[in-house]
Amino acid sequence: MPGIKEVADRAGLSVATVSRALGGKANVSPKSRERARRAAQELGFVPSYHAASLASGRNYNIGLVVPYVQRWYFASVLEGVSETLLDAGYDLTLYNVGEQTERRNSVLNDFLLRKRLDAVIAVALVLSEAEIMQLLAVRRPLVAIGGALPGAASIRIDDARLARLVTEHLIRLGHTRIAHMTGDTELNRDFKLPGIRLSGYQAAMAAAGLPVHPDWQVAADFTIQGAYRAAKRLLGTASERPTAVFAASDEMAVGTILAARDFGLQVPRDISVVGLDGHELGEAFGLTTIDQNPRGQGKLAATTALELLDTAWNSDADAAPIPAPDYEYPTDFVIRTSTAIPPTKP
C-alpha cells in the first residue's frame, strides 16, 4: 500500500505540501494541489482522514444550521457552502432545526462539546450571548449569514436600505399608492428580516410624503402560495387598489403577479410589482428585484469559516482572538418588465 512519501516523490513535492494539498488546506497552489491529487490517484493512495484528524485535532467537518431546508434561499446557501467545503476536502453536516429550540440547543451544546464539528455556519438564526460565548470558548469559528452576531464573522446585506431602494424606484416612476407584502409573525422571530424590510418601505414612503393605507400592508409566509392568497385579499378588498406592490421576497412577488392576473390586471400596465431576492423565477416573470445571490453568500461563508479555522489552529491558545470579519455582501438591482409608470386614471 503506497504511503504519502511515495505520493510526494511521484508528484515532485514535499511530504508537507502533499499533506496540505490532500487535506484540503488553503495554503497550497492550484498547480501543486493538482499534482498531488494526480500522483495519489495514479498510486491508488487514499488519505486516512481518521489519522489526519488525530494528528491535527480536526474533524474536517463543518456544521450548517438552518431554520428550513426546503425554502429557496436556504437551499441556495446550502449549495454554495457544500460546493466550497467539498472542494476543500471537508464534510458538511446539515442541521435543519425548524421551529424546535431543543434541536438547536443539541447542536450547540452536544455536538460541539463532543467536538464533532470544527466550525459552525448559522443561517438566519439569532444565537444567545451564552451560545456565542460557548462556541468561542472551545475555539470553534462561527459564521453568521443574514445578520451580525457579537464575536462571530458575518455575511449580510443591508435589508433596510435595499427595501427603501426598491420602494424609491416605484416612487420615481410616479406611483403614490404603493402596497407592501411583508412576512408573518413567525418569520420575524430571528433576524427580523420582514420587519426590517417593512421599515425600509415605510421610511421611503414617509420621506416622499406618501400615505400608507392600512389595507396596503399585508402579511404572507414568503411562499408563492401564501402570497397568492394574501394578494387576492389585497387586490380584492382594499378600499382603494394600489398601483404597485413591493413584496419582501421574490416568491411573494410571483404570487402577487399570479393573483393580479386572476383579477384581469396586466403587469405592469395596470399594476407594478417588485421583489427582493434574486430568485431564478424572477427572469421568467420579468420581475424587477434586487439580486442578493444567496449561493455566493454561502460560498463566502464557507471560505471565511475555513480561513478562521486555519487561523485558530495555527495560533497560540493564549493569543488574543482575531477580530471576526463583517462582510456586507454586494447586490445587483435588476430592473425588468414588471414595473412601469402608474396607469392613468380614467
Whole-prediction pTM value? 0.81
Task: Give residue 31's pLDDT.
Answer: 87
Sign of the CA dihedral with 35 first, then 41, 46, and 49 last: positive
98 assigned to some structural domain: yes
Average pLDDT over residues 234-252: 91
Residue 103 dihedral angles phi and psi, to the nearest 5°: -65, -45
The whole-number average pLDDT for the span 115-135 is: 79
DSSP string, 237-296: H-SS--SEEEESSHHHHHHHHHHHHHTTPPTTTT-EEE-SB--THHHHTT-BEEE--HHH
Give the chain's mean pLDDT.
Answer: 86
Judge if 238 and 278 occupy the same domain.
Answer: yes
3-state secondary structure of 72: helix
**Rounded Cα–Cα distance for residues 88 and 268 (Å):** 46
Query: Distance between CA atoms of 141 and 151, rounded to whole angstroms?
Result: 10
Q: Which helix (H) or strand (E) holds 217?
A: strand 217-220
Is there a single domain that holds both residue 302 and residue 252? no
pLDDT digits (tens, 9 = 90+) for 148-168: 777 789 999 999 999 999 999
Is the pLDDT assigned to residue 73 strictly greater than 90? yes
Least confident of 1-5, 255-259, 324-328: 1-5
Per-residue pLDDT averaged across 273-298, rounded? 97
Phi, psi of 261 (to 5 degrees): -65, -35
Helix, strand, or coil here: 144? strand
Output the pLDDT for position 54.
41
Segments forming the whole domain that contains residue 64: 59-156+294-314
More confident residue, 70 or 341: 341
User: For position 224, which CATH number holds?
Assistant: 3.40.50.2300
- Is the same domain home to 279 and 299? no
Query: Above 60 in pLDDT, residue 66?
Result: yes
pLDDT tops 60 at residue 319: no
Extract the C-alpha cell encoding 307: 480561513
Q: Are residues 208 and 231 in the same domain?
A: yes
* pLDDT of residue 316 exceeding 70: no
List all residues 6 or more positions away from 276 whose beta carbon is below 8 Å from its beta carbon: 159, 162, 163, 166, 197, 246, 247, 248, 249, 250, 289, 290, 292
C-alpha to C-alpha distances, 28 to 32, 34, 83, 176, nearest whole angstrom: 7, 10, 18, 57
pLDDT score of 175: 97
Rounded to an integer, the average pLDDT of 210-221 is: 92
Instruction: Give the HSE-up count for residue 235: Cα atoms under 13 Å, Cβ half-sphere.
Output: 25
In this prediction, residue 116 has a pLDDT band, given cuts at 50, 70 and 90, of: confident
Does residue 239 surpass a pLDDT of 80? no
The set of cell numbers assigned to 138 is 472551545
Residue 238 lies in a domain: yes
pLDDT of residue 238: 65
Same domain for 9 and 99: no
Residues 266 and 167 in one domain: yes
